[in-house]
Amino acid sequence: MAAGSESKLQLVHRHIRAFPDFPKKGILFRDICPILKDAAALTAVIDLFEEHVRNNHQQVDLIVGLDARGFLFGPLLAQRLGIGFVLIRKKGKLPGATVSVSYDLEYGKAEAEVQEDAVAAGQKVLLIDDLLATGGTLYAACELMKKLQAEVLGCMVVIELKELNGINKLKTHNVFSLVQY
């Protein structure tokens, strides 16, 4: 990795806070809010994602962001790349005809959806979110894109929590993470 990229990674890493026992005891929450309030750190995140995409996925058509923190980074990256941005939302949050997929959470089930006409068959997409933990949400988003017959080029996250092995659920997809814990 180039020296400039390394210093950007260090800047990003320095702007991630840890909160023990949040949202419940035993969880170490990784907070990205300091990245968002620091222009240099936010620019570094988008620079690093842009560098990754330009080096590895020149043919991408759309950036697809996951509800809700994928919405913070995805549009900025899409604008830089000169391509569109698509939302994957929690069930019931999008108007018009939608396609949905259900997936398991730690305690129960959830559903994600996308507007039926958001992605055309054959379009090449990259998914983006803030965090990869158990991989359930990103996996569901990939399945949703498959339902629309999109080609998933990969997934990108700011933070990967390696001990939760979310990467195992996404074995068939390339996953790019900026920071790993």
Active site residues: 69, 106
DSSP symbols for 85-100: EEEEEETT-S-SSEEE
In angstroms, rounded to a whole number, what is the distance separating the alpha carbons of residues 43 and 70?
15
Indicate the SS3 state at residue 25: coil
Distances (CA, A) of 25 to 19, 22, 161: 11, 6, 17
Beta bridge pairs of residue 66: 88
Beta bridge pairs of residue 179: 159
